[in-house]
Structure 1
Amino acid sequence: MYNTVIFDVDGTLIDTERAVLGSLQKMLKTDYGRVTEIQDLTFVLGIPGSTALPQLGIKDIHKGNERWNYFMKDFFSSIEVFNGISDVLDTLKRRNIVQGIVTSKTTEELISDFVPFGLMRYLTHTVCANDTEKHKPNPEPILKFLEISGADPATSIYIGDTIYDYECARDAGVDFGLALWGCKNHEHIQTRYKFEKPQDLIKLL
């Protein structure tokens, strides 16, 4: 049914929620003297820092992103690959299914936060935030992936954990699977496929 599987990274392949929110909270307190509750920062999950930081009133986006990434290092030990992901990626590779990622991380962030887990060997194509002018929920990142990979949208599926991922896939004409293991408020996302665990993807294919 599908011969190309495209993954989001944060909340889909790796669990970075504690690191992303904790480092942002620490940055806001250290650099701006702002004490912010974690629950008030969850809106940043799934969108690039360049989109999230202006919503927090931060005007120097480049500096804000640099400092956010700096504090991410303090939380790296809390980042984990979701259970079952490695086995799923290995199975897909053995079935000759093309795999790649479309992420809101920049290339620099991908290298520091994701590459150390050794999963890149399964992924043949990558689209990061700095590869497109527009970002999720705009369809441009997935359209860029289809362009560089030559994948047929009719036989491709995007796996993600947020409403932004769903809208990006929908408007790019690609089927979407919701990763419930990393998702919040899944009842508000009306998609054809909802996967309880990574292994459920194998059953679909």
Structure 2
Amino acid sequence: MYRAVIFDFDGTMIDTEQHLYEVINKYLKAEGHEPVSLAFYRENIGGRALALHEHIVSLLGEEKVTELYREHHDSAAHLPLRPGIETFMKQLKQRHIPMAIATSSARQDIMPLFETLGLNDYVSAIVGREDVEEVKPEPDLYLTAVQALNHNPAYCLAIEDSVRGATAAIRAGLDVIVNTNQMTETGDFSELPLTDKDTDLTTLIERYFEGKRL
């Protein structure tokens, strides 16, 4: 029986990936540039996305890209939680099962969304890129999150959406459930020993937590 759950944020809790893709291409088109291809964007999901960042900076400049990211973070506040997330978190909280977030994004960037969505009522620790040496697919984020929850990785379950994210969690010793979105559904997960994939999160308590209060 798992004793803690660690969530990825972007694309897992809310669909920020599709939103960022649309914002980037809005800015590129406004400046007369070719939009980013879906394939190139997908290649950058789940990690630091340096290739994507450097590409748009080369076309738009640092100042405009800063404005782009600001608009993305501000306007993403209207996005809803992905299906099953809220119910699953409520079930975990009722059973006193601690939760954390392990994200390759900077904590300061996700905090406005985190607070708007009311996730501070459930999540006790947030680990972001500024807290580790390496982001996903390296295990650092998950190892740090597990430590923050004072648990053993073997008893922690990760919820992810991307190949890089799932790889990071597995390298850290966690079991992983992947629920893809329209940006990550084409990823090749075939080499990863996933616990489950594209499943109804509202059924996880019954299947993986035995429906018992800890």
Same fold (TM over 0.5): yes
1:105 aligned partner, one-letter code: S
Q: Paired residue for 2:8?
A: 8
* Offset from partner CA, 1:103-155 (integer Å, 9 cap, x none): 12211211233321112210011101221121000111111112222211110
Deviation of 1:160 after TM superposition, in Å, equals 0.2
Distance in 2 (CA, whole Å) between partners of 1:13 and 1:147 is 21
Identity among equivalent pairs (%)? 25
Q: Paired residue for 2:88?
A: 88
Are the aligned partners of 2:45 and 2:164 in contact in 1 as well (CA < 8 Å)? no
Distance in 1 (CA, whole Å) between partners of 2:147 and 2:51 is 24
The answer to whether structure 1 residue 35 and structure 2 residue 34 are counterparts is yes
Q: What residue ranges of structure 2 are gaps of 5+ in the alignment?
A: 210-214
Q: Paired residue for 1:68?
A: 68
Q: Paired residue for 2:189?
A: 188
Q: Paired residue for 1:204?
A: 208
* Offset from partner CA, 1:2-51 (integer Å, 9 cap, x none): 001000112211122331111222333456x4221451423333223556
Distance in 2 (CA, whole Å) between partners of 1:72 and 1:79 is 11
- TM-score using structure 1 length: 0.85
Deviation of 1:177 after TM superposition, in Å, equals 1.0
Structure 1 counterpart SS, 2:57: coil
Distance in 2 (CA, whole Å) between partners of 1:122 and 1:141 is 19
Deviation of 1:199 after TM superposition, in Å, equals 1.2
1:14 aligned partner, one-letter code: I
Q: Paired residue for 2:212?
A: none
2:142 aligned partner, one-letter code: I
Question: How many aligned positions are there?
Answer: 203
Are the aligned partners of 1:180 and 1:196 in contact in 2 as well (CA < 8 Å)? no
**Counterparts of residues 1-205 of structure 1 (less than 5 Å):** 1-30=1-30, 33-39=32-38, 40-50=40-50, 52-54=52-54, 56=55, 58=57, 63=63, 66-72=66-72, 75-76=75-76, 79-180=79-180, 183-185=184-186, 188-189=189-190, 190=192, 191-202=194-205, 203-205=207-209
Structure 2 counterpart SS, 1:159: strand
2:43 aligned partner, one-letter code: F
Distance in 1 (CA, whole Å) between partners of 2:202 and 2:65 is 34
Distance in 2 (CA, whole Å) between partners of 1:126 and 1:107 is 7
Distance in 1 (CA, whole Å) between partners of 2:43 and 2:152 is 32
> Residues 62, 141 of structure 1: CA spacing in aligned structure 2 closer, same or farther, 3 A cutoff?
farther
Q: What residue ranges of structure 1 are gaps of 5+ in the alignment?
A: none
* Offset from partner CA, 1:82-103 (integer Å, 9 cap, x none): 1221111011011111111101
- TM-score using structure 2 length: 0.82
